[in-house]
Amino acid sequence: MEKEQNQNTENSESEEQNNKETISKSTAQDLKNENEIKDQSIEKKPEEKILELEDKLARAFAEMENQRRRFEKEKEEAYEYGGFTFAKEALNLIDNLERSKQILENDESLKNSNALKKTLEHLNIINKDLISIFSKNNIKPIESLNKKLDPNLHQAMMEIEDDEKEAGTIIQEIQKGFTIKDRLLRPSLVGVSKKTENKDKKHGQNKENLENK
């Protein structure tokens, strides 16, 4: 008898637990349904949706326009400066001509000879033709002599004492520089002037240094 009572008690507790779980699940479902109803009730108005779509469309068009501009710029640069590397290498032709002229001019066995004169004339013609071809393709030499040193166009390789020129004036061109359109192809290698140091002042400084030692 007691055993049956215990079993009935266990069954009642189990049934009560099942009822609680069922109620809990039902409550959760009700809350979910209620949230869905709320979400539907706060759904965006047609005007807001249209504005949102217009904004997204405007952003898409802006991005497309930016990409088009970048493509046009890259295409233009490729057309304008596509031969940059080739042009830079081609400058070696002018350099070699200048070196050849200097070697011939410094050859004692050829000095004041007609052969040297004619050879130099031909080399000068070739050099002018090359410069003309470069100019037609917007490759132009940089004017340097008697100009003020410009770090954007010139590279100073040495300083030369010269009281007749303002300090920083280019008085020697070691290697000619060139530009291609508005870009620097290579800088001019130059020598610039500087004022002659005062020998008496320099001697006095050296004497003072020796006395201090």
Q: Are 183 and 152 in contact (CB under 8 A)?
A: no
Phi-psi category of residue 165: left, alpha or beta, with phi > 0 → left and psi -120 to 50 → alpha: beta
The residue with greater pLDDT, 201 or 142, is: 142
Give the tens place of pLDDT for each residue, 121-138.
999 999 899 889 988 888
**Quick check: 188 pLDDT over 70?**
yes
| 41 — pLDDT class (breaks 50, 70, 90) | very low
The residue with greater pLDDT, 37 or 72, is: 72
Report the C-alpha gap between 142 and 152 in whole angstroms.
11
- What are the domain boundaries of the chain? 1-31, 44-81, 84-137, 141-213
Report the C-alpha gap between 105 and 6 in whole angstroms.
128
Q: Are 154 and 144 in contact (CB under 8 A)?
A: yes
**Quick check: 71 pLDDT over 80?**
no
**Quick check: 44 pLDDT over 80?**
no
Q: What is the pTM of this model?
A: 0.55
| 52 — pLDDT class (breaks 50, 70, 90) | confident
Angle in degrees, 0-180, between the axes of helices 114-136 and 84-105, rounded to the nearest 10: 170
Name the average pLDDT for the chain.
77
Give the tens place of pLDDT for each residue, 153-179.
999 999 999 888 889 999 999 999 999
Q: For position 202, what pLDDT does the model report?
A: 53
| CATH of the domain spanning 141-213, picked from 3.40.50.2300, 2.30.22.10, 3.40.50.300, 1.10.10.10 | 2.30.22.10
Q: For position 2, what pLDDT does the model report?
A: 45
Q: For position 5, what pLDDT does the model report?
A: 46
**Quick check: 89 pLDDT over 50?**
yes
- The count of C-alpha atoms lying within 13 angstroms of the C-alpha of 176, restricted to the half-sphere facing its C-beta, is 18
